[in-house]
C-alpha cells in the first residue's frame, strides 16, 4: 500500500468499516423510499414547464402589465363565493408566461388582454409534486416522512464520505473492466463524491423545509407560549395594512403595481394576493423576484387605496431571512433559468442512480459471498423501472381520460414490482424494464398529441415532448448497446 503523503486525515480500517456498516444499514432501510423521493423530485424540477405542457391549449402572456392584472382580478371577483376571502394572482414571468388567478378551488387563466381564457387545472402536475412533498400521505404526516428521508440522505452522505479515505485521489476512479460489483461501487462513489454538494444541499434544504414546522412548534412552545405566529415573527413580521379603505378598485391595484415598478425596477412580480376580499379592509400583497438573487423574492403590502404600507425586507434583511427565503429555490433549481433546471434534472438522475446502485452493490456482494437473494434482486429491479413507468402512465391516463393519478400510480407500481418476480432472470428483467419505460414515455407523448393536437408542437409543449422522446431514445439505445455488447462477449 502506498505511503505517499495525503492532505486528507488518516482513517483506520475499523473506522471505515464502521461507517460503511452504518451506511449499509441506513441505505437498505430507506432505499425504496429515497428512490421514490429522488425520482419524483427529479421530475418535479420541470413542474412549471409541466403545468404549461398539461394546459398547452391555453394562451401565454409574455408581458406583465398592471392593467391586465387589475382586469383579471375584477373578473375573478365576480366568481368569488362568500366563503372565499382571498384572490391569488400568479403573474407572468420569464419562466412561467401565464396569468393565472386562483379563486377558492378554481384556477382561471387569462390572456394578454386580461380576458378569461379557460380553466387552468393541472391535476397530473399537482399529483406529481404531491408525490414528492408527501408521498401521497396525509399532508403534514407525509411531509414529515419525506423530511426524515432528507435527514437519512444527509446521514448517508456523511457516512459515505467518512467511509471514503481516498476521496481526493480516487476522484475519477471507475473500474469499467472490473466485476459488476466494483463497476457499480465506483459509479456509486464517483457520482456520490462529485455531486455531493448538490446532494447535501438537496437533503439539507428538503429536510429544513419540512422539519422547520416541527422546530417552530417546539420553539413556540418553549419561547412564545405556543404562539406559532410570534415564533415566525422574526422571519415574517406582520406588515399588513391596517386601514379600512373599502373594496380595492382597479385603479388602486394599477397604482400599487406602478409604484412598485417605479421604486424597485429590479423587482418582477410573480404573485399578487388580494387579502380580505369582499370586506371593507381589502389590501394587496405583492411578491416579486429580484434579479440575480437566490432568495425567492421580496414582499410588499399595499393598502386599499394602493399606497405602500410596508415591506418584509427579505432580500436585504437579516442573513437568516435571506437564507430561509433561498431554501425553496435552491431545492428545486428555480434560479438561473432553464439550463440550471436541466442541470438539476441530470444531477437528480444521478441521485436516483446512487440509490439503485447502492442496493445493487449489496445484492451483488451477498451473491458473491454465497448468500444470493434472487427474488429480492428481481423485485428491486422491477421496482426501479416500474416506478418511473407507472409515473409516465399515471400522467398519461390523467391527461387523456381524467383517471385519478394516485391509485393508477401506486397500483401500477405494485403490479410491475410483483410481476418482476415472474421474470426468468434479473438481467432479462432489467432489459425489458428499460424498454417498457422507454415505451411509456413515447406513449405519453402520443397521448399528449391526441389530446392537444397542434398545440403539442407549440413553444409551450414542444420542449417537454422532445425531452421525453430523447429520453426514450437514450434509454432504449443504451439498453440495445449493452445487450449487443453482452451477447458479443459470450
Partner 1 sequence: MIAVPFAGSLLSLLGLTAIFLTWRRKGVRDRLWRFGLPVGWALLCLGLATWMASTNPDQGLALGSVLIMMLAGAILAWQGLRLAGKPAKTQIERESAADTVALGKGYWGRFTIRLLGSLIIVPVVSVMLGILWQAYMPVSAADRLVGAAIAAVFIMGAALTWQLASRHPYRTFSVLTGVSAITAALVYLPLAMGA
Instruction: List binders of partner 1 among 300-329 (CB under 8 A).
Output: 317-324, 326
Q: Under the criterion CB under 8 A, does residue 467 sit at the interface with partner 1?
A: no
Compute how many residues bind partner 1; rule: CB under 8 A. 92
Quote the cell numbers at residue 449. Answer: 398529441
Q: Under the criterion CB under 8 A, does residue 170 sit at the interface with partner 1?
A: yes
Q: Under the criterion CB under 8 A, does residue 4 sit at the interface with partner 1?
A: yes
Among residues 148, 193, 156, 195, the alpha carbon closest in space to that of 27 is found at 156
Q: Under the criterion CB under 8 A, does residue 230 sit at the interface with partner 1?
A: no
Stretch near partner 1 under the rule CB under 8 A, chosen from 63-71, 82-90, 106-114, 152-160: 152-160
In the chain, how long is the greatest CA-to-CA distance? Answer: 82
Quote the least distance from Cβ 354 to partner 1, whole Å: 12
Q: Under the criterion CB under 8 A, does residue 84 sit at the interface with partner 1?
A: no
Burial status of residue 182 (CB atoms within 10 A of its CB: 0-12, 13-18, 19 or more): middle
Contact 438, 472 (CB under 8 A): yes
> Sheet containing 298-302: which strands, arranged edge to edge?
116-119, 106-110, 99-103, 87-90, 267-275, 283-290, 298-302, 308-311
**Which listed residue (162, 239, 442, 455) binds partner 1 by CB under 8 A?**
162
Residues in the chain: 490
Tell me which H or E stretch contains 486. helix 459-488
Q: Under the criterion CB under 8 A, does residue 489 sit at the interface with partner 1?
A: no
Quote the cell numbers at residue 322. Answer: 435571506
Binding mask 184-213 for partner 1 (x = CB under 8 A): -xxx--xx--xx-xx----xx--xx--xx-
d(C-alpha 227, C-alpha 461), whole Å = 46
**Which listed residue (338, 346, 406, 466) binds partner 1 by CB under 8 A?**
346
Footprint (CB under 8 A) of partner 1, residues 350-409: 350, 361, 365, 369
Contact 321, 235 (CB under 8 A): yes
Tell me which H or E stretch contains 219. helix 196-223
Between 53 and 198, name the residue whose CB sits nearer to partner 1: 198
Binding mask 246-265 for partner 1 (x = CB under 8 A): --------------------
Between 84 and 340, name the residue whose CB sits nearer to partner 1: 340
**Which listed residue (82, 176, 402, 487) binds partner 1 by CB under 8 A?**
176
d(C-alpha 374, C-alpha 380), whole Å = 10
Stretch near partner 1 under the rule CB under 8 A, chosen from 256-264, 279-287, 289-297, 454-462: 289-297
Between 214 and 473, name the residue whose CB sits nearer to partner 1: 214
Q: Under the criterion CB under 8 A, does residue 18 sit at the interface with partner 1?
A: yes
Amino acid at each position: 500500500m502506498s505511503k505517499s503523503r495525503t492532505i486528507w486525515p488518516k482513517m483506520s480500517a475499523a473506522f471505515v468499516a464502521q461507517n460503511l456498516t452504518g451506511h449499509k444499514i441506513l441505505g437498505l432501510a430507506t432505499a425504496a423510499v429515497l428512490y421514490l423521493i429522488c425520482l419524483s423530485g427529479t421530475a418535479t424540477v420541470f413542474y412549471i414547464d409541466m403545468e404549461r405542457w398539461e394546459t398547452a391549449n391555453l394562451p401565454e402572456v409574455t408581458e406583465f402589465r398592471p392593467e391586465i392584472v387589475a382586469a383579471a382580478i375584477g373578473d375573478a371577483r365576480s366568481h368569488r363565493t362568500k366563503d372565499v376571502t382571498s384572490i391569488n394572482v400568479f403573474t407572468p414571468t420569464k419562466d412561467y408566461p401565464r396569468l393565472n388567478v386562483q379563486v377558492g378551488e378554481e384556477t382561471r387563466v387569462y390572456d394578454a388582454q386580461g380576458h378569461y381564457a379557460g380553466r387552468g387545472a393541472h391535476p397530473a402536475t399537482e399529483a406529481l409534486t404531491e408525490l414528492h412533498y408527501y408521498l401521497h400521505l396525509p399532508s403534514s404526516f407525509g411531509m414529515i416522512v419525506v423530511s426524515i428521508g432528507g435527514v437519512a440522505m444527509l446521514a448517508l452522505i456523511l457516512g459515505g464520505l467518512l467511509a471514503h479515505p481516498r476521496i481526493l485521489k480516487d476522484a475519477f476512479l471507475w473500474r469499467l473492466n472490473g466485476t459488476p460489483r466494483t463497476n457499480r461501487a465506483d459509479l456509486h462513489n464517483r457520482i456520490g463524491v462529485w455531486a455531493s454538494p448538490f446532494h447535501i444541499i438537496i437533503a439539507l434544504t428538503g429536510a429544513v423545509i419540512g422539519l422547520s414546522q416541527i422546530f417552530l412548534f417546539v420553539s413556540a412552545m418553549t419561547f412564545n407560549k405556543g404562539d406559532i405566529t410570534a415564533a415566525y415573527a422574526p422571519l415574517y413580521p406582520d406588515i399588513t395594512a391596517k386601514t379600512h379603505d373599502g373594496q380595492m378598485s382597479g385603479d388602486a391595484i394599477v397604482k400599487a403595481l406602478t409604484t412598485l415598478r417605479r421604486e424597485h425596477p429590479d423587482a418582477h412580480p410573480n404573485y399578487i394576493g388580494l387579502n380580505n376580499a369582499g370586506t371593507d379592509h381589502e389590501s394587496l400583497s405583492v411578491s416579486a423576484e429580484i434579479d440575480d438573487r437566490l432568495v425567492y423574492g421580496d414582499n410588499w403590502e399595499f393598502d386599499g387605496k394602493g399606497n405602500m404600507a410596508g415591506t418584509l425586507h427579505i432580500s436585504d434583511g437579516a442573513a437568516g431571512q435571506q437564507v430561509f427565503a433561498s431554501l425553496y429555490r435552491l431545492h428545486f433549481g428555480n434560479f438561473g433559468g432553464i439550463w440550471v433546471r436541466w442541470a438539476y434534472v441530470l444531477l437528480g438522475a444521478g441521485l436516483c442512480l446512487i440509490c439503485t446502485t447502492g442496493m445493487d452493490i449489496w445484492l451483488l456482494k451477498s451473491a458473491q459471498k454465497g448468500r444470493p437473494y434472487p427474488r429480492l434482486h428481481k423485485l428491486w429491479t422491477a421496482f426501479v423501472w416500474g416506478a418511473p413507468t407507472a409515473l409516465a402512465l399515471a400522467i398519461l391516463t390523467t391527461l387523456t381520460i381524467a383517471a385519478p393519478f394516485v391509485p393508477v400510480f401506486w397500483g401500477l407500481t405494485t403490479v410491475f414490482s410483483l410481476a418482476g418476480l415472474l421474470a426468468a432472470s434479473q438481467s432479462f428483467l432489467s432489459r425489458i424494464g428499460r424498454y417498457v419505460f422507454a415505451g411509456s414515455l413515447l406513449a405519453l407523448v402520443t397521448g399528449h398529441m391526441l389530446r392537444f393536437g397542434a398545440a403539442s408542437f407549440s413553444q409551450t409543449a414542444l420542449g417537454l415532448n422532445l425531452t421525453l422522446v430523447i429520453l426514450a431514445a437514450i434509454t432504449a439505445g443504451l439498453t440495445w448497446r449493452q445487450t449487443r455488447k453482452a451477447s458479443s462477449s459470450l
